[in-house]
Structure 1
Amino acid sequence: MTRAIPKSAALWKTSSGKCSMPCLERRSFSFARCFQLYVYVCPIYNTMNRRNFLKRASVFSLPAFRGGFEAAAFPSGLLRQLVNGESDKVLVLIDLNGGNDGLNTFVPLDSYDNLMRARPKLMVAQNKLLPMTDTIGLHPALHGIRQLYEQGKLCLVQGVAYPNQNRSHFRSADIWNTGVNADEYASTGWLGRYLDEEYPAYPDNYPNAEFTDPFAITMGRSISATCQGLHSNFSMAIIDTDDLGGLQTGVAPALPDDHYGRELGFLIETFKKTNAYATRVATAASVGASRVVYPDTTLAQQLKTVAKLISGGLQTKVYVLKLGGFDTHANQVEEGGATTGKHASLLKTLSDAVLAFQNDLAALELEKRVLGMTFSEFGRKIKSNAGLGTDHGTAAPMMVFGGCVNPGIIGHNPQIAASVSSEEGVAMQYDFKWVYGSVLRDWFEVEEEKIHALLTPDFQHIPLAGNCEGYAPGQGELQAKAYPNPFSAQLTLEVYNFEAQQIRAELYDVMGKRLHQFPTRPYSTGLHRLPLSGNHLPAGTYYLRVQAGNKVKTLRIVKA
């Protein structure tokens, strides 16, 4: 039987938008004092059902409503099943947008002299760095971060990136948001994808009496791409933190009994759902508390709002914030003053805001419920440019903070040679998908089998958080070396395996492209030597990334 497909269907369009096809007719509906919807008839060959509308709504930019809620504000009570039933734990993500210069944030003191050669005008004098460990100095703007580290509330993960690093802002941010490999593309975020696969009926019948709160909240104008599902986004965007109202739909107009009326009716119902969440958020904000003074910066005030919403009883599980400006091609520092400039200002904003937030959570007796994490789409090149700045690089550090974090440093300092190429970035140690997966496992108790399907089959757990009573670290860093270095034809990789487990080794160029992978197989406890023929490699600098279990070490090697 052949189904007749109508030759016209409704497309939604705002007064400032444009239809992608010639339109035959326009109908106007005014159902709110601040919003007017135009429905166009265009010659397309498919009908628009609820699923299709939601797909289109994720592409079209509907206007920001009074109070700042976007239309794609759907909750996920189903997240309770994702995060171990009645768990009340919260994750706060801070996007350091633009590509943070990790070498200027956590300075490797064991490579300080070589960094001075590579970026002489950017380096803070060693005696002005804040001590963190014997081999790491903090930028002097990071007093708050140092306090958290000294209090055992900070975990630093060194060298986070992904194989075959892409140095485009848009593409790399997309990879981080979707949680895929560099050669893969996805239209869904890593959290949204999981929820779509597990609960294909979503978002119908939400909110309801059992699940009243939004799954995620984004502080800003855009909903979070990490929460984008196939049919809808699971997050709500808050623009104005002082006015948490929703869109007033008033009395619904009489709707025509045709395709227009059905779709417009669905849109009005969507607004009503959004308003239901707006009411819950506004109530939590009104009864929530804050007990410390926050800096007068946008990030700090947004974190203050997050603390108030959590203390006010909102059951939202994920909050996403963004601090932009880290694309420091120029004026990263001021001429003649490495302690001042764009980057110093951004680091101070971040550090002071996070410290105030953590102190507030402690005062509210909430710090064991909340875990924070920073991320950035890439790091910067090792060498500075001619504009007192740095260009797009490879790996960057991530910070995980909170009252239940496993404190300390995961990974080793970047290896900086006396002479580096103009394209060389910090080498990858840990795949960012491992960090994501470890947060899901440690904090939300997601099963590892689901993490493999959600993020990457080669996921390795990193002990980031979950032990609120104190953390006892395991064995030290992985023992590995490569010789001779420099080499001409043959190189030997020597690895000591603390226990019987798989050893994985990969060769990368300075741009983060994977060139060779050693056979991955189980190895017994003890010392192992893996040969590498370098006859096919041109002269230059390379990185060997070695992994045994969840221990990782990256070695800088030179082909003569």
Structure 2
Amino acid sequence: MKPTPFTRRDWLKSGAALLAGGTLFGSGLRNAQAADYKALVCIFLYGGNDGMNMVVPTDGARYGQYAAVRGGLAIPAGQLVALGSSGYGLHPSLAALAPHFSQGTLAPVFNVGPLYAPLNKAQYRAEPEGSPLIPDNLFSHSDQQILWECGSTDAQSRTGWGGRASAALATANPVISVGGNGHFGVEDLRVPLVLPEPGATFGAYGLRPQDTWTPYALRKQAVAALYAQAQPVDLATSFASQQLGAFAMSERLAALIASVPGDAQANPVIDAAFAPLIQGQSLKTPIAEQLYQVAKLVLGRATVQGDRQIFFAQMGGFDTHRDQIDGGNPTGGVHAILLRQLGDALAAFQTAMMNLGLGQQVTSFTQADFGRTFAPNASAGTDHAWGNHQLVIGGAVRGGRTHGVYPTLALGGPDDVGVDSWERQGRWIPTAGVDQYAATLLRWFGATEAQLDGVLPNLVNFGSQRSLGFL
């Protein structure tokens, strides 16, 4: 039976990501087999993860303060997953990550958020509206997502810190996103290369190598001839070059992207690491799909090209204003489900990297819009806050310990923006800036101090405190 002819809808659906990544063959092409290959993997938790229940103090006094304020949202002390002798425990849904802490490859980083410069409560309360010391539109989802993804305190920022790092280091690829579009990977002259899930078709329908039906083959010849013609204006020349590059790139990556667990192209080491998350030939959760795809791309780095690669994945649903727990059970409910999906997928990915001998060369890290209020609201949920805790995992991580300054657990205290009773909710003023967090990651990735200043314009405001020390 002859194939069904493609439609305009097929073209747009199958070709959108392909054309977005058409500048893959830009300047700075690197040798993918270089011994110093490194990859960064960003996992953005959209909605604002409740870091206060993700990493919890376990020592008696501070756990007592935590439980007294959190009330029904508090994780029972006996159910926390102890992080060695650190004095902290993970939410029980993150149990899969505990062995990585014991192995020294996982580290919580405390109270990070957008900052123009170091800021204390007195300064925050004294600054006038519009002061550069106060990040734009605090506690707003869309604005704080931009500030985190862009490494900025200006909500009008366009380029992401991942994208600017890719440009500064002249990486072969733009940021490779397996989680859709976002500011994180946007550069001045390139946009992220957005890839679909495992098993998906990647390429313009009817113009792929496997599309051998004669009308398709003739159409492909005509398109190639059209783009090969000399163009009368530079814009048309650039467009034609991008399309030709995009077609070549899709031919190179299509088989790698399409591979699913257990097929002829699948890697048994990756499949073994993800085995608890595989059902048939599919992954059980979207974040597992994304990190499985990244694992394949890291292993297939010679095909992907480049010895420096930045990846972007994401989860949604963390805006837990209500019903954060399930029927009074703080280890049930939507937040517990999301953390289990994150922990299981991230642990599987890290296991795959270690078993492939790439553990030292890949570092994964979380970001989120903001933290949640320490005090719960009247709907068994939490509201928008500011500083938040993050997780970093990888063989190069100084794990098995925590980094940064955990906030003082007092409503209206020195770390809470609030003074009057109605605003004492535990919206922590960050003690570490996104710029410092990003700089720590990018310095390991290979950026020079001069490049860091270019990628992260606010970094200079932190003086000698340019690193958070977790790498």
Q: Shared topology, TM-score over 0.5?
A: yes
- Indicate conservation of the 8 Å contact 2:178/2:293, yes or no: no
Q: CA deviation at 1:294?
A: 4.4
Q: 1:458 aligns with which of 445, 461, 467?
A: 461
One-letter code aligned to 1:375: Q
Q: How does 1:335-374 map to 2 (within 5 A)?
A: 335-374=327-366
Residue aligning to 1:118: 69
Distance in 2, Cα, partners of 1:255 & 1:281? 23
Q: 2:51 aligns with which of 99, 102, 106?
A: 102
Q: 1:219 aligns with which of 165, 173, 178?
A: 178
Give the 3-state SS of the residue equivalent to 1:279 in structure 2.
Answer: helix
Residue aligning to 2:374: 382
- Indicate conservation of the 8 Å contact 2:412/2:426, yes or no: no
Distance in 2, Cα, partners of 1:196 & 1:365? 28
Give the 3-state SS of the residue equivalent to 2:222 in structure 1.
Answer: coil
Distance in 2, Cα, partners of 1:425 & 1:135? 22
Distance in 1, Cα, partners of 2:36 & 2:168? 21
- Indicate conservation of the 8 Å contact 2:69/2:374, yes or no: yes
One-letter code aligned to 1:451: L
Residue aligning to 1:276: 248
Distance in 1, Cα, partners of 2:93 & 2:168? 44
One-letter code aligned to 1:223: N
Structure 2 unaligned regions, length at least 5? 116-133, 208-219, 260-264, 278-283, 414-422
Distance in 1, Cα, partners of 2:343 & 2:96? 5
Residue aligning to 2:92: 140
Q: Rg: which structure is higher?
A: 1
Distance in 2, Cα, partners of 1:412 & 1:341? 29
**Farther-moved stretch of structure 1 (286-295 vs 451-460):** 286-295
Q: How does 1:44-63 map to 2 (within 5 A)?
A: 63=12
Q: CA deviation at 1:130?
A: 1.4
- Indicate conservation of the 8 Å contact 1:145/1:351, yes or no: yes
One-letter code aligned to 2:222: A
Normalised TM-score (structure 2): 0.75
Distance in 1, Cα, partners of 2:436 & 2:29? 22
Q: 1:312 aligns with which of 292, 295, 300?
A: 300
Distance in 1, Cα, partners of 2:24 & 2:230? 29
Q: CA deviation at 1:259?
A: 9.6
Distance in 1, Cα, partners of 2:196 & 2:92? 32
Q: CA deviation at 1:145?
A: 1.6
Distance in 1, Cα, partners of 2:356 & 2:330? 38
Distance in 2, Cα, partners of 1:288 & 1:67? 26
Q: How does 1:291-302 map to 2 (within 5 A)?
A: 291-292=271-272, 293-295=275-277, 296-302=284-290
Distance in 1, Cα, partners of 2:182 & 2:24? 13
Matched, 1:130 2:81: yes
Residue aligning to 1:433: 435
Distance in 1, Cα, partners of 2:28 & 2:469? 23
Matched, 1:188 2:159: yes
Q: CA deviation at 1:245?
A: 2.5
- Indicate conservation of the 8 Å contact 1:73/1:214, yes or no: no
- Indicate conservation of the 8 Å contact 1:191/1:227, yes or no: yes
Change (3 A) 1:224 1:260: farther
Distance in 2, Cα, partners of 1:434 & 1:288? 38
Distance in 1, Cα, partners of 2:67 & 2:375? 10
Residue aligning to 2:396: 404
Give the 3-state SS of the residue equivalent to 2:390 in structure 1.
Answer: strand
Q: CA deviation at 1:119?
A: 2.3
Q: CA deviation at 1:265?
A: 7.3
One-letter code aligned to 1:445: G
Q: 2:200 aligns with which of 229, 237, 243?
A: 243
**Farther-moved stretch of structure 1 (409-418 vs 327-336):** 409-418
Q: CA deviation at 1:72?
A: 4.0
Change (3 A) 1:214 1:34: farther
One-letter code aligned to 2:397: V
Higher strand share: 1
Q: How does 1:2-21 map to 2 (within 5 A)?
A: none
Q: 1:324 aligns with which of 316, 337, 344?
A: 316
Distance in 2, Cα, partners of 1:216 & 1:391? 31
Aligned sequence identity (%): 27
Distance in 1, Cα, partners of 2:155 & 2:49? 24
Residue aligning to 1:392: 384
- Indicate conservation of the 8 Å contact 1:71/1:271, yes or no: no
Q: How does 1:68-79 map to 2 (within 5 A)?
A: 69-75=18-24, 78=27
One-letter code aligned to 1:425: R
Q: CA deviation at 1:90?
A: 1.0
Distance in 1, Cα, partners of 2:271 & 2:9? 42
Higher helix share: 2
- Indicate conservation of the 8 Å contact 1:67/1:244, yes or no: no
Q: CA deviation at 1:67?
A: 9.0
- Indicate conservation of the 8 Å contact 1:288/1:312, yes or no: no
- Indicate conservation of the 8 Å contact 1:69/1:237, yes or no: yes
**Farther-moved stretch of structure 1 (308-317 vs 99-108):** 308-317
Deviations 1:180-210 (A, max 9, x none): 2x246322222434565787xxxxxxxxxxx
Q: CA deviation at 1:288?
A: 5.7
- Indicate conservation of the 8 Å contact 2:149/2:184, yes or no: yes
One-letter code aligned to 1:394: W
Distance in 2, Cα, partners of 1:297 & 1:428? 32
The Cα RMSD (Å) is 3.3
Q: CA deviation at 1:283?
A: 4.3
Distance in 2, Cα, partners of 1:372 & 1:251? 42
Matched, 1:91 2:36: no
Distance in 2, Cα, partners of 1:230 & 1:276? 23
- Indicate conservation of the 8 Å contact 2:56/2:91, yes or no: yes
Give the 3-state SS of the residue equivalent to 1:252 in structure 2.
Answer: helix
Normalised TM-score (structure 1): 0.63
